[in-house]
Structure 1
Amino acid sequence: MTHRTAAAPPPSGSPRALLEVPADVAAALLLPAPADATEDQLRGARCVWCEAGPLNAETAIDLGEQKTPAGSWFPRACQNCTASWAHRGLFEHAPLCEQCTDDASRCKTGRVLYRLIRQGRRP
């Protein structure tokens, strides 16, 4: 399953490009369980990790629709949390990934986590 997230807008102010967030990347981000999330977090109005908000199209990183046996939820995160959790996920993923140890540029999971780190750190 693939999720999409908006990338940071280019300086020219043109529309945001979309970045695909595969299910394995969502797993590496260690999203909290939906049962532990508030209603605002479940619908993407507040950061799934720190509850910062309200989030909007300019401040949120969309982590895609997440399906659970209880139903779907739509986590989004603030840029700071996204960068921090993607950084943590990359450090846990890379040493265990044969592709990352051979040639990190060929690992889709590693590339997406790296892009989320950069996207989250942009002003």
Structure 2
Amino acid sequence: MDALQVPTLAALGEDQTAGRTCVWGEEPLTLESAVDLGERVAEDGRWFPRACRNCTSLRAHRAMLDHGTHCPLCASAATAAHCTVGRGLYRLQRACRR
């Protein structure tokens, strides 16, 4: 499962699929403000969604909380550091808040 779920390619507008606006909030993006969400594969081919820092931070925080309720590693403070998904979401959320 993808921790940061983005809308389907078919549900997005042209500016969103082209990376000119946020996939979640439609805010205009620049090279400095955009967060690359990684390559995705859709029926129509590959695409590279981008989002604004604010939406990414909010989604990463929500995903981190949701993930933590289902992950046995994150359930314990002693093993939480071993969960790459939880750690990655935490770092993404923190980086986007700066």
Determine if the TM-score, normalized by the shorter chain, exceeds 0.5.
yes
**Percent identity, aligned pairs only?**
48
Measured in 1, the distance between the counterparts of 2:31 and 2:83 equals 28
Q: 35-44 or 83-92: which moved more?
A: 35-44
| Partner deviation per Cα, 1:84-111 (whole Å, 9 max, x = no partner) | 0001101110110011113211100001
Which residue of structure 2 lines up, in the alignment, with residue 90 of structure 1? 64
Matched, 1:76 2:43: no
Alignment of 1:1-123 (within 5 A): 24=1, 27-53=2-28, 55-102=29-76, 103-122=79-98
- Scaled by the length of structure 1, the TM-score of the pair is 0.73
- Scaled by the length of structure 2, the TM-score of the pair is 0.91
Measured in 2, the distance between the counterparts of 1:110 and 1:64 equals 17
Secondary structure of the 1:31 match is coil
Amino acid aligned to 2:86:
G
Amino acid aligned to 2:4:
L
Measured in 2, the distance between the counterparts of 1:82 and 1:42 equals 16
Aligned-pair Cα RMSD in Å: 1.1
- Residues matched between the structures, number: 96
Structure 1 ranges of 4+ moved more than 2 A: none
- Structure 1: which 5+ runs fail to align? 1-23
